[in-house]
Amino acid sequence: MSDLDPRPTPTTCGGRDDVASGPVHELLAPRRVPLGESTVVRRLLPSLGRRMVGAWCFVDHYGPDDIADEPGMQVPPHPHIGLQTVSWLHAGEVLHRDSLGSLRTVRPKELGLMTAGRAIAHSEESPRAHGQILHGAQLWVALPGSDRHSDPSFEHHADLPVVTAPGVDATVILGELDGASSPGTTHTPIVGADLVLADGADIRLPVEPDFEYAALTMSGVTEVDGVRLEPGSMLYLGCGRRDLRLRADGESGLLLLGGEPFEEKLIMWWNFVGRTNEEIAEARRDWMSGDRFGTVHGYAGAPIPAPALPATPLKPRGRTR
């Protein structure tokens, strides 16, 4: 996924200033963002009041869309630094290509995990022969300073652990939940889980009191810690819980995102996560001159040019709103 905004707004985030140390309920309003010709996504992170949840720094939710007569997702080659991307589907498929030569189709409940490290480029598209419905989420995880200059890599995990309890099946996308660990490589204490709740489910999910959490309803209607969440709604929950009450009215799907609050201050601009204005400007220059990021082969279309940098230099300022 790429930020296709021709004038992307820089986001500064990280640090503890904005972390709710206790339990809170903060409903995040999605922002509709066009993604290429035929897809509109709903951006939940970064949002006006909330930039990160643990190391999770970007959440787009899209669909369910009927793409039977449409090209579906078409995101041409674009670069990333300093982050991991997580492709997560509930319906349909996404064909991933990157500058390492990876070519993989990611399907529902499979993890496509790309670690950008110092530089990678990729494209994402609905294959020409694709299913009728496309529904999923695209997420970014910020890399800590110690790992952000690492070699880029792509992992595809089709067999993720599932934690089951009466009324719930939880697939562990990333990190650990209730003793089950995802095989996906992580660099900070984090969790991402996909929960299928049965009609009438009423459970208490064990969670880490030191993590901050947010929950996004993918389908159906859920009740998270007493708050009713319609599809596409995300609730920031803060820290300080040992368990989280989840209820479902009809079968529903919920993404749970959490992690240790991310201490380092960051600058996010376009598809880059960095620490200084110079670093972001250099990544932009390298992408435009064809250096560093390599080439994505096989995508039918030109790479995405980088937008102009804002006139004012970017500065990391913590989690100030």
Residues that bind Mn ion (CB under 5 A): 1-2
Question: What is the dihedral sign for C-alpha 189, 42, 73, 136?
Answer: positive
Angle at 262 between CA 284 and CA 215, to 5 degrees: 100
In the complex, the smallest distance separating the C-beta of residue 256 from Mn ion, rounded to whole angstroms, is 23
Q: How many CA atoms lie within 13 A of 34 on its CB side?
A: 5
In the complex, the smallest distance separating the C-beta of residue 282 from Mn ion, rounded to whole angstroms, is 19
Cβ closer to Mn ion: 43 or 241? 43
In the complex, the smallest distance separating the C-beta of residue 185 from Mn ion, rounded to whole angstroms, is 17
Cβ closer to Mn ion: 103 or 165? 103
Phi, psi of 277, deg, nearest 5: -60, -40
Cβ closer to Mn ion: 1 or 52? 1
Do the Cβ atoms of 101 and 152 come closer than 8 Å?
no
Q: How many helices (H) and strands (E) does the chain have?
A: 1, 24
Place of tokens 């496309």: 134
Cβ closer to Mn ion: 196 or 304? 304
In the complex, the smallest distance separating the C-beta of residue 227 from Mn ion, rounded to whole angstroms, is 31
In the complex, the smallest distance separating the C-beta of residue 102 from Mn ion, rounded to whole angstroms, is 13
Encode 34-66: b = buried (16+ Cβ within 10 Å), e = exposed. Answer: ebbeebebbbbbbbeebbbbbbbbbbbbbbbbe
Q: Using CA atoms, how far apart are residues 31 and 181, in angstroms rounded to an integer?
A: 32
Residue 308 carries which DSSP code? P
In the complex, the smallest distance separating the C-beta of residue 303 from Mn ion, rounded to whole angstroms, is 12
Cβ closer to Mn ion: 98 or 194? 98
For the residues of 281-294, what is the DSSP string, one character each? HHHHHHHHHT-SS-
The amino acid occupying position 246 is: L
Cβ closer to Mn ion: 121 or 177? 121
